[in-house]
Structures are given as structure tokens and as C-alpha cells.
Amino acid sequence: MLKNKEKQEVEVNQKIQLVDGKFTPSEASHVVNCLIDEKINFHKLQALCWYEGNHDADTTYCDKREKELREEKKIKHISLIQLMR
């Protein structure tokens, strides 16, 4: 019997086509916004699950990714406005 169970990390590379088709700029913006929103929600839920399991859990990564994604969303929005001018 093993005394310590080691966490095994496995790297998996998989190509997934998330979006296919032709979109107007506003449609493309909507699709990208939805994807970003889902990623933000994922990290919020992940941090909450970690916290519920352990109130001392380090949610720094989730908090950082959520902040980065919100910034990306702002930048994308500004870029789209400039493109539509």
C-alpha cells in the first residue's frame, strides 16, 4: 500500500473547433463575449468550490484569470468599436 498518493499530471493536446462560420462584426463580438463570460464564470465557480472545501484555499490563480479575462473583454470591446468606425 502506498503511503502517499502522488498527484499525476497528464498533458493532453487536443484540437477543438469551438466556432465555425461567417459572422458579422457584431455577431463575432457576441460569440467572443459569450466565450469570455463562460470562462469568467468557470473561474468564479472553481474558486468558490475550492473555498467551500477549504476556507484557507488559495484562489489566487482563479482570481487572477478572472481579472485578466475581464480586461481582455474591455480591450476587445474597445477594438471592435474602433473597427466599426
The pLDDT assigned to 6 comes to 56
- How far is CA 15 from each of CA 21, 63, 79, rounded to the nearest angstrom? 17, 27, 27
The pLDDT assigned to 7 comes to 57
The CB density around residue 69, as the number of other CB atoms within 10 Å, is 19
Nearest-angstrom CA–CA distance, 56 and 41? 21
The pLDDT assigned to 28 comes to 85
Question: Does residue 1 surpass a pLDDT of 80?
Answer: no
User: Does residue 78 or residue 40 have the better pLDDT?
Assistant: 40
pTM of the model: 0.71
Nearest-angstrom CA–CA distance, 48 and 80? 32
* Residue pLDDT, tens place only, 15-71: 888 888 999 888 888 898 999 999 999 999 999 999 999 999 999 999 999 999 999
